[in-house]
Amino acid sequence: MDRLMDVLNLLSILILISAFILVANKRMNSYIKTFRLQSIFLAVIAAIFSLYHIFEEGRLEGVIVIFFLIVSLKVVYIPNKLKTITKKVDYKVEKDFFVNIPISVIICCGLVIMTWYVISRVTDINDAYNSRFLIYSISVILIGLFFMISRKKAIGQIIGFLVIENGMFMAAMLTTSGMPMIVELGIFFDLLTAVLIMGVFVFRINESFESIDINKLRNLKG
């Protein structure tokens, strides 16, 4: 069991590192590739839990369905959908940010330290691994939120939203060995609907303003 937890700990660290890689990027295609890589790590975590329940406990958990949903939606469908969107917009690289990349990385380091401090002060968490998993997961959520609000292009904001959702799934799977499947399925369908709606908005913004820079929306003010 300790070896299993060590593997899960390594995967959760890799997911956190991928969030930092995302913040350090400025190319749209790099955003999508990093999100796909992060989702692959998340799928591996779901696969490990599935295999553990099957071979160690002799029961088939709903988390195996989540594994296939992560692969089909987050690793295949959503990244391909975002690539299609980026091909139809003018901007392939973000050149200006609300906060520049070096300072953004420093802020994200600060978010991780803050999360570690807060979680370490919670006395009800007795398991060391659960404490680490919460630190990694909440850090990913906060970094995704920061990425979302620090990017001016709509594609970056979509990716930030997806990273937040990855962090939520990461926390759920690592700390509870999987949420009830009906809850996870509901989140997946909400996620899919949100991505499709945001994709439509990106097309509309690009058609109306010949740009996906959200600052252009200020032109709508009366």
Local confidence band at 185 (pLDDT 50, 70, 90 cut-offs) = low
Please enumerate, as own/partner, the contacts of 59-63 that have beta carbons within 8 Å and a separation of 24 or more.
Answer: 61/177, 61/178, 62/178, 62/180, 62/181, 62/184, 63/173, 63/177, 63/178, 63/181
Give me the pLDDT at residue 160, please.
Answer: 87
Tell me the residue range of the domain where 174 lies: 2-220
In a 3-state reduction of DSSP, which class is residue 129? Answer: helix
Chain centroid to CA 197: 18
Give mean pLDDT, residues 38-51: 88
Q: Is the dihedral of CA 192, 193, 195, 200 positive or negative?
A: positive
Rounded-to-integer distance, Cα 142 and Cα 148, Å: 10
- Confirm if 82 and 163 have CB atoms less than 8 A apart: no
**Non-local CB neighbours of 118 within 8 Å, separated by 6+ positions:** none
Local confidence band at 106 (pLDDT 50, 70, 90 cut-offs) = very high
Q: Which residues in the chain belong to E strands, given as ranges?
A: none
Of residues 10 and 67, more confidence is placed in 10
Give me the pLDDT at residue 170, please.
Answer: 86
Q: Mean of the per-residue pLDDT values for the chain?
A: 78
Give mean pLDDT, residues 68-93: 80
Give mean pLDDT, residues 131-155: 88
Domain count, the chain: 1
Q: What is the pTM of this model?
A: 0.81
Of residues 189 and 132, more confidence is placed in 132
Rounded-to-integer distance, Cα 91 and Cα 209, Å: 12
Of residues 161 and 135, more confidence is placed in 135
Give me the pLDDT at residue 81, please.
Answer: 82
Measure the CA dihedral 176/177/179/182, to 10°: -160
